[in-house]
Chains A and B, each alone.
Chain A
Amino acid sequence: MPQASSISVLVVDDQLTMRALIRNALQQIGFKDIREAPDGEEALKNLLAKPANLVISDFNMPKMDGLALLRAVRSHPPIRQTAFVMLTGRADRELVQRAVQFGVNNYCVKPFTVQGLRDKIEQVFGQLT
C-alpha cells in the first residue's frame, strides 16, 4: 500500500484554474509532492529533468497535447513507467481508446470528484494510505 505522500505527481493542464483544482484535490487525498506544467512540452522537460511517479494530464493543450505527451513518456526509457492518468471529457471516447493503445494507465472523465480521482489513482497504485 503506497503512501500518497510518497508519490510525486505532475499535473499537466493548460488552464491555471484546473491545475489549481486538481492540486487541491490531490492535497485532500494526501499527496504532497505536486508539480505542474501548462502543456505537454513543458511536462516532458520537467519529467526528464526530474521524473515523477504519476502524471495527471489534460488532453487538449497547446504545443503538445496529452496524447503526444503520453507517447513521449512511453518512449523515453527512464520515465517509461510513469503512471499516466488522462483527464477527458465525455465526448472524447475515441481519444481514450487511442490513449489506451499508447499505454495510458487510467482515465478520468470530467467532471470528477475528489473521491473519484482517488479511486482512479488507487486503481493504478493500489489503495493509498
Chain B
Amino acid sequence: MEKDFSQLDEILEMYRGKPGILIPLLQDVQNLLGYLPKDAMRYIAQKMNIPAADIFGVATFYSMFKLKPQGKHIIRICKGTACHVSDADGIKEALIDALQLPEGEDTTQDMHFTLMEVACLGCCSLAPVIMIDDTTYGKLVPESIPPILERYAFEEKQ
C-alpha cells in the first residue's frame, strides 16, 4: 500500500494554480520531510497534475534536492578555488576519517552527520572553510576537525 502523504496537502494548496511554483514547492516539502522520497514525488504529481517526470527531472537537476535521508547536522565542505589551493582536500580527508564514513557514503550510520561538497561558500579569505548547519569555520588545518565535530557530539549528550 502507498504511504500516506496527506501531511503535504497544506503546502500543495498554498501553491495550487500559481506559475513557476515547482522549485519552492519541492523546497517546502523537503523542509518538512528532510528529503524527497520517491513516493512523495508521485503523490505531488498526482495531486498537482504535474507529470512525475517533470518533478523527478527538477529534483535530480538541482543539488539542493536530496533523494536520500540526510543526517541531523549537514557539513558543507567548500571546494572553491581559494579553498582548493589552501588544501581543502586535506580537510576533506580529516572529516572522512573523523566521521568514519565508509567509501561512497555521505551520511554517518547513526544519521548524525551528512558530509557534502559545495562549489563555493564565498568566504574565500578564510580558506579553507567548512560550514556545519549555519555556522562557518575558517582557516582550518586537518587537526582542527576533531575538536569542532566534538562540539556537535557533546551537545547531543547534554
A, B in one complex: no
Give A contacts to B, CB under 8 Å.
none
Give B contacts to A, CB under 8 Å.
none
